[in-house]
Structure 1
């Protein structure tokens, strides 16, 4: 009798266990909570409303689309115009060996340039009337002037200053800073330099560089343009560089500068741009180049001279000055 009672209790217990196993929820292989289960909570303790994705499930990127006609963010700026000229004045000595600095001044005045870069400029030399040429031209033209002394000779008269030879920059705008850097040189060659004048346009500094490279040594010109390239690569302001480079456009010396400056003539000139000799020019050795930022050469021209043995180069630039 007792054996049948125990067997009955065992049968009832087995039935209860089987029923519980049948009614228990099946575990989800991805770990998602089942209906009625309490999921993980967010930072505030509230139940998480969205299911948790498995690591292998790709999440679509968020794409922001601007509405049609929405304004494009831009930096405000101002466009200013600057006429720059470069001119080797040959010390103001005409082809017939007459000194005519007044003629040089008249030619420059006719161009109505804002900045003029001059090469072969004299100070206190008997051949040029002992004139301080940058100062005299500045007074004649009503322009600011700076002089880069590259060569000094002994005085030619008792009590007179020592003779000087170099480059000059004339500007209708005030010159707020300037310097002259001597370029690489070798014994027996003439010292050359890189003259800088900084002017201020609409609250921005703009640098104008002037140079006159070695005339009788291509390797020396190459060394000099390598040094100039280093200076221009470190320039922190918009710049124009010009002068008598004594090098044709495809020469190694000029190729060096292409890394940091653009030649205005191919962009805005209308002919080969030959500059020397003045009467019947055969080569192009006088240039105006500019940095890449903001400069647009709108017009370039070569201008005849009745005094010098070079023709001048004039470029009308538009310069975009950004205020941010």
Structure 2
């Protein structure tokens, strides 16, 4: 009863800030250590906001490479279709860690809760604003969002407020367009195909699928640091392993093991080709075929860090974006202590 009540409360607290990523989550409920690998170490459950999303690729890749086992930690990966659900599970105590967007840590501090990014996977959102091919000549920037139907993962999601930010930055108002919740993956593709949306924000491998079918064109590409700076005014750290600050303080040895494993993976990714990375992942993640999946990974790779360290100016960019629209953050910028939303203690000591 108590856990159900906590979970319900967490869901209410997190409603304004939903998932940042868009692709459909894998149908599997989770993933344990690779077959034949018996790990004699602490057990940790990590909830991922969609195990098959390229932006969260380091989670499953670390498991598949056996790096959790090498680090001496027994990790069970669980999956939910949205980052907000991962955070809800973390707050409820159902898991010890979550893989999702860093911006949740700022949102939660505004609500009086302390969660911190322990390993920063990415320095850019990995999101792409796609315009329907039929509307590509009419929508050249956020200024032309007026009167349009724009697809987002869900209302109140990070794709929602990033879309609003792009509109306002380019002279439009958040009331000038209609955000349409179209979900992710195939539902996003269908919405474009049927004309239910004029444009929308999503991630790989959905981006690769849309472009391959000729259904849309790229308007804003935030899969790279350069794209993030152009669209948002700076680096926007996104995918990360974040955990309760209290849990981290009480379990520093286990946290270090997790950091070791993830940093090792990030370094491995930086020295291997998209095809080699794709080959390590579950076959059913490549729904558009191996070549398309490898291309999706190639397009998204620039967003990832190589060492798990938070980019110096990134948190300020995230705070500025959230403060522009998020009701729980707006007006509280002066009270948010960004230094408490992440730590470099463990990645700085990582032996990966």
Structure with the bigger percentage of strand: 1
Same fold at TM > 0.5: no
Structure 1 or 2, whichever has the larger Rg, is: 1
TM range (shorter): under 0.3
Provide TM-score, normalisation by structure 2: 0.22
Provide TM-score, normalisation by structure 1: 0.24
Structure with the bigger percentage of helix: 2
Higher relative contact order at CA 8 Å, sep ≥6: structure 1 or structure 2? 2
